[in-house]
Structure 1
Amino acid sequence: MEVLAFAGLETILFLAPPTQERLARFAHYRAIGVAGVARSRPPEWMDEHLPPVFEQLAGIGAPVVHYKVCSTFDSAPHIGNIGRAAEIARRRFPGWIPLVVSDPGMGRFQAFGNLFAHANGVGYRLDRHPTMAAHPTTPMHEADLGRHLAAQTDLRVGLVDFASMKRGRADALLAQEIERGAAIVSVDVLDPETLREAGRLIWERGAAQQFVLGSQGVEQALVAHWRAAGLMPLTSASVGCARVERLAAVSGSVSPITAAQIEHACARGFEPIVLDARLAVHEHWLAAEVQRVTALGGEAIARGRDPLVFTATGPDDPRVAAFREAVRASGTPIAAVNDRLGAALGDILNALVRQCGLRRVVISGGDTSSHAASRLGIDALTAIAPLSPGVPLCRAHSPDPAIDGLEIALKGGQTGAPDFFTAVRDKH
Structure 2
Amino acid sequence: MQQGERTQDNQLVLSFYGDDFTGSTDAMESLTINGLPTVLFLDVPSQSMLERFPHVKCIGIAGDSRVMSPEQMQAELPDIFKRLKELRSHFVHYKVCSTFDSSKDIGNIATVVNISKDIFGELSWVPVLVAAPDLQRYTVFGNHFAAMNGETYRLDRHPTMSHHPITPMSEADLREVLKEQGAKETAGINLVELQQPLDALFQTLNVKLSKQPEVVLFDSASKADVEKVGLLLEKVREPKEPLFLIGSSGVGHAISAVAKDKQAMASQSPVKPTKRDRLLVVSGSCSPVTQKQLEWAMNHGFEGIHLTLEEVMAAKKDEQAKRQLVEKACQTIRDGKDLVMFTALGPDDPSIARNQQKMLENGLPISETSKILGSYLGELAKLVIQETGIERLVVAGGDTSSYATKELGIYALEMITSISPGAPLCRCYSDDDSIDGLELALKGGQFGQDDYFAEVKDI
Pairwise same-fold verdict (TM > 0.5): yes
1:396 aligns with 2:434: no
C-alpha deviation, 1:234, in angstroms: 12
Task: State the match for 1:223 in structure 2.
Answer: 256
Unpaired segments ≥5 residues, structure 1: none
Task: State the match for 2:168 in structure 1.
Answer: 139
1:129 aligns with 2:161: no
C-alpha deviation, 1:224, in angstroms: 3.2
Residues 1:283 and 1:173: Cα distance change in structure 2 (over 3 Å): farther
Residues 1:28 and 1:242: Cα distance change in structure 2 (over 3 Å): closer
The CA RMSD measured in Å over matched residues stands at: 2.1
Task: State the match for 2:3 in structure 1.
Answer: none
Of the three residues 288, 302, 316, the one matched with 2:334 is: 302
1:112 aligns with 2:146: no
Structure 1 SS opposite 2:181: coil
Q: Which amino acid aligns with 1:12?
A: V
1:273 aligns with 2:305: yes
Task: State the match for 1:210 in structure 2.
Answer: 243
Q: Which amino acid aligns with 2:419?
A: L
C-alpha deviation, 1:22, in angstroms: 3.0
Task: State the match for 1:152 in structure 2.
Answer: 181
Query: How far apart are the structure 1 equivalents of 2:52 and 2:316?
Result: 40
C-alpha deviation, 1:337, in angstroms: 3.5
Task: State the match for 2:391 in structure 1.
Answer: 359
C-alpha deviation, 1:170, in angstroms: 2.7
- The residue correspondences of 1:258-407 to structure 2 (distance < 5 A) are 258-280=290-312, 284-285=316-317, 290-407=322-439
Query: How far apart are the structure 2 equivalents of 1:404 and 1:356?
Result: 15
C-alpha deviation, 1:27, in angstroms: 5.7
Task: State the match for 1:31 in structure 2.
Answer: 58
Mean Cα deviation higher: 280-289 or 338-347: 280-289
Query: How far apart are the structure 1 equivalents of 2:63 and 2:360?
Result: 27
Indicate if the aligned counterparts of 1:264 and 1:419 stay in contact, CA closer than 8 A.
yes
1:199 aligns with 2:230: yes
Structure 1 SS opposite 2:442: strand
Task: State the match for 2:87 in structure 1.
Answer: 60
Structure 2 SS opposite 1:151: helix
Indicate if the aligned counterparts of 1:278 and 1:322 stay in contact, CA closer than 8 A.
no
Task: State the match for 1:85 in structure 2.
Answer: 112
- After superposition, the C-alpha distances for 1:181-238 in whole angstroms (9 at most, x for unaligned) are 11211111101221111111222222331001001100012223443x3635699889
Indicate if the aligned counterparts of 2:395 and 2:443 stay in contact, CA closer than 8 A.
yes
Residues 1:233 and 1:347: Cα distance change in structure 2 (over 3 Å): closer
C-alpha deviation, 1:152, in angstroms: 1.2
Residues 1:163 and 1:13: Cα distance change in structure 2 (over 3 Å): same
Structure 1 SS opposite 2:152: strand
Residues 1:236 and 1:120: Cα distance change in structure 2 (over 3 Å): farther
- After superposition, the C-alpha distances for 1:68-108 in whole angstroms (9 at most, x for unaligned) are 10111000111111110111011111212111111111110
C-alpha deviation, 1:282, in angstroms: 6.2
- After superposition, the C-alpha distances for 1:384-404 in whole angstroms (9 at most, x for unaligned) are 111111111111011111111
Indicate if the aligned counterparts of 1:290 and 1:347 stay in contact, CA closer than 8 A.
no
Query: How far apart are the structure 1 equivalents of 2:171 and 2:352?
Result: 24
Structure 2 SS opposite 1:138: coil
Unpaired segments ≥5 residues, structure 2: 1-27
C-alpha deviation, 1:279, in angstroms: 4.2
Residues 1:239 and 1:122: Cα distance change in structure 2 (over 3 Å): farther
Give the number of equivalent residue pairs. 426
Q: Which amino acid aligns with 1:99?
A: V
Structure 2 SS opposite 1:2: helix
- After superposition, the C-alpha distances for 1:255-275 in whole angstroms (9 at most, x for unaligned) are 001101111111222111111
Q: Tell me the TM-score normalized by structure 2.
A: 0.88
C-alpha deviation, 1:287, in angstroms: 5.9
Residues 1:238 and 1:350: Cα distance change in structure 2 (over 3 Å): closer
Query: How far apart are the structure 1 equivalents of 2:267 and 2:237?
Result: 26
Query: How far apart are the structure 2 equivalents of 1:86 and 1:291?
Result: 45
- After superposition, the C-alpha distances for 1:115-159 in whole angstroms (9 at most, x for unaligned) are 100111210000000000000000001111110011112331110
Query: How far apart are the structure 2 equivalents of 1:236 and 1:176?
Result: 40
